[in-house]
Structure 1
Amino acid sequence: MKETINSYEDLLRMLDYFLKEESEFNWDHFYSDRERKIPFFENHPDENLVEYMENGRITAGKALELGCGPGRNAIYLARNGFNVDAVDQSAEGLEWAKERAKEQEVKVNFVQRNIFDLKIEEGSYDLVYDSGCFHHIPPHRRMSYIDLVQRALKPGGSFALTCFVQGGELGGADISDWEVYRGKSMRGGLGFTDGKLKGIFQEFTAVEIRKMKDLNSDTGKFGTSALLAALFKK
């Protein structure tokens, strides 16, 4: 492997290498056993996403979901009038998502790709949604993530995400960005607070940041207070 830094991209690749533990996690293996007792394997949308729709904070348009996994939120958006592009790097997760969409007779454009390899026409989406992807993004890729969301959204568009609460029950490492590189690990995913999210996404207007509501699957929605739900406007 070339170990000379001649560009910003070379720098990013070097830092990716030092966090191999994260980049080599096998998402195909993770999604291959569909009977595993993983709360978000249930085919229910996030409760905060449903609330945004029901209270009119977001309205139907064109949506991009980052890290869609088995497609539960993408399918919900498509059922509610959105034209949806849903991206994930896991072939196994997307195959499951396609099966679900077919069963529910909804159309979603599922794309297998690393989100940083997406070619997006600037200002083409009304909504960018991320449920559980952001807390796996290493700090050195965060600027690229923000740029991706900025490019994707129309003026006035909405950006919403769920992510680990700092020190939460499901994960959420309470460490600084520098500690990530000292220890060469994100410890399974970084945790965030209201203040941290506002600081990271300061180019956006924060509409609401709260813990998700604890819900059981009988409600037809997914919710756990171990995750933060945030809604921003461009």
Structure 2
Amino acid sequence: MTVAYDKHYQTENLFGEPYPELISFFSNNPTRGKLLDLGCGQGRDAIALAKLGYEVTGIDNSAVGIQQMERSARTQGIKLTGLVADIYDFRDFTDFEFILLDSMFHFRTSELKRETELVERVINNAKKGTLIVFCIQHSGNKIKIFKNIVVNLEFSERTAELDFNYVFEDKDSNHKSTTKYKMVVIKK
């Protein structure tokens, strides 16, 4: 099956480098363990987090993205696992101490029900103590919608909430853009 991102990922490193704030959070975390990167794409976060000592499994529905991630990891001598699968069908969250969802949610009307169910499923089915990290574009009503989804879910605490700006640079075209993000960390 061909998916839209198979075409997009013809551009290597499409989304650039991982957010420094995300890497700093995971670098400063005192423990390591199994980390699930849902919607890992080409592996920008998965590879960086594996370098930090996390045992990373990245899932994406783009075979092209997973192949690029695995090739890059092999070239760098990094061990990680890539799975081509639909994150909306994935159910086995209990094997992981960390779950990352970076830029996965748009909360458009056409996607709202499906994305809401994913947020609920991840939080409800993660094992106790799991850190779940969401990076969401801080535009429109995305953060308000996200907070309305999680407000009634059962988890132990919201351990961190950080606003940051990410500057994307396309070196081929010299295009630069800045996007506001919010990182929310929930401890199950």
Question: Smaller-chain TM-score range?
Answer: 0.7 to 0.9
The 3-state SS of whatever aligns with 1:232 is: strand
CA offset digits 1:182-202 (Å, max 9, x no partner): xxxxxxxxx523x43332222
Aligned partner (choices 202, 209, 214) of residue 161 of structure 2: 209
Structure 1 residue 232 corresponds to structure 2 residue 182: no
Conserved 8 A contact 1:161-1:229? yes
- Partner Cα separation in structure 1 for residue 42 and residue 134 of structure 2: 17
Structure 1 residue 31 corresponds to structure 2 residue 3: no
Q: Which amino acid aligns with 1:210?
A: L
What is the deviation of 1:227? 2.1
Instruction: Say which structure is richer in helix.
Output: 1
- What is the match of residue 54 of structure 1? 27
What is the deviation of 1:129? 0.2
The structure-2 alpha-carbon separation of the partners of 1:25 and 1:63, relative to structure 1 and needing over 3 Å to count, comes to: same
What does 1:165-184 align with in structure 2 at a 5 Å threshold? 165-166=138-139, 174=140
Structure 1 residue 146 corresponds to structure 2 residue 131: no
Structure 1 residue 132 corresponds to structure 2 residue 103: yes
Q: Which amino acid aligns with 2:9?
A: Y
- What is the match of residue 198 of structure 1? 147
The structure-2 alpha-carbon separation of the partners of 1:231 and 1:127, relative to structure 1 and needing over 3 Å to count, comes to: same
Conserved 8 A contact 2:107-2:142? no
What is the deviation of 1:150? 2.7
Work out the number of aligned pairs and report it: 175
- Give the superposed CA RMSD: 2.7
What is the deviation of 1:73? 0.8
What is the deviation of 1:216? 7.0
Q: Which amino acid aligns with 1:206?
A: R
Larger CA Rg, structure 1 vs 2: 1
- Partner Cα separation in structure 2 for residue 198 and residue 231 of structure 1: 12
